Amino acid sequence: MDHDHNYKNLILDYPREALVFFAAAEAQAIDAGARIVPVREEQIKERLGERFRELDVPLLVEWSDGRRSAILFVLEEETDPKRFSIHRLAHYCLDLAELFDTERLVPVVIFLHPGSYPEQLRLGSEHRDYLHFSYLSTALFATPANQYLDSPNIVARLRLPCMAYAPEDKLAIYAAATRGLMELEPNPERRLKYADFIDIYTALDDNELKQLPARLRRGEPCYDRIIRSYERRRFPKRHTSRYAARKARRPTRRPATRRSRITAAPNKPKIRPPRGPAA
């Protein structure tokens, strides 16, 4: 599974909410007047043929009225902490700082699975440090899910299945994430997109899916929507056949066949080539 791609989509679809959740300490100054712009992921190479460094999601936050200087956020998702390289991240940040000619930059790393990872990098000698580098980190596997069950932040609600919770609370986590999606996202296409996102990271088995309607309280917010979403994924063939039946009832215009196009075309006089002089 391509977790990097999933997280890129999540952050690019909800950049403001992502910064508030993953970089809360630095995102307090990002008000409604700030503009958040994704920047290029592939860094410019000094020479052709060299390896390029690719960032997960760099975001530039700027204020049009100039009351604050622009600031860069470098967000990187790391599924396996063993693969995380703080040296690589430092390279990324130095490249971006040079490219944008700025010293205002915040690196953020999102760890999906448990494991050990370095939290800072120090280069120097016994006399002094010549380089000190650190970053903000979000360990989703250690974040208590019960603190975000009713969060107004859609990124927090969608990430509930990746947080820490008791196994017996799995269905409640699924329902809270789906309810958050239905309440906070008005776009039907994004609802479909991130309903799959919730399914992927909750990974309910058949028995758990069967128990879901019984665990929900009829009359609670978004009950009908959650049930419809559940039925769409629990019975995909039934959903597909209903969609096909509705589509079949729609009036459709039959495209003109080649014969009908020829028949409908206006008659044009035939132009014959001029005859040459008689021999």
pLDDT in tens, 239-278: 555 545 555 555 555 555 555 554 555 555 555 555 655 5
Mean of pLDDT values over 13-26: 94
Mean of pLDDT values over 141-150: 96
Residue 199 neighbours by CB under 8 Å, 6+ apart: 233
Please indicate, yes or no, if residue 273 is contained in any of the structural domains.
Answer: no
pLDDT score at 49? 45
- Residue 166's alpha-carbon distances to 56, 151, 171, in angstroms, are 31, 19, 10
Please answer whether residues 59 and 83 qualify as being in contact, where contact means their C-beta atoms are separated by less than 8 angstroms: no
Please answer whether residues 17 and 24 qualify as being in contact, where contact means their C-beta atoms are separated by less than 8 angstroms: no
pLDDT score at 60? 94
Domain stops at, among 142, 171, 188: 142
Q: Are residues 232 and 209 in the same domain?
A: yes
Please indicate, yes or no, if residue 46 is contained in any of the structural domains.
Answer: yes
Q: Are residues 77 and 5 in the same domain?
A: yes
pLDDT score at 57? 83
pLDDT score at 232? 67
pLDDT class for 46, splitting at 50, 70, 90?
A: very low
SS3 113: coil
Please indicate, yes or no, if residue 71 is contained in any of the structural domains.
Answer: yes
Domain stops at, among 82, 109, 142: 142
pLDDT in tens, 109-142: 999 999 999 999 999 999 999 999 999 999 999 9
Q: Are residues 13 and 106 in the same domain?
A: yes
pLDDT score at 50? 45
Q: Are residues 116 and 238 in the same domain?
A: no
DSSP bridge pairs for 122: 132
Please indicate, yes or no, if residue 24 is contained in any of the structural domains.
Answer: yes
Q: Are residues 161 and 136 in the same domain?
A: no
pLDDT score at 170? 92
pLDDT score at 93? 93
Q: Are residues 40 and 164 in the same domain?
A: no
Mean pLDDT, rounded, of the chain: 80
pLDDT in tens, 162-195: 999 999 999 889 989 988 998 999 998 999 899 8
Mean of pLDDT values over 38-48: 56
Q: Decide if pLDDT at 19 tops 90.
A: yes
If one compares 222 and 88, the residue with the highest pLDDT of the two is 88
Nearest of 199, 217, 196 to residue 208 by alpha carbon: 199
Domain range for residue 63? Answer: 1-142
Number of domains in the chain: 2
Mean of pLDDT values over 20-33: 90
Mean of pLDDT values over 43-54: 46
Within 10 Å of residue 154's Cβ, how many Cβ atoms?
22
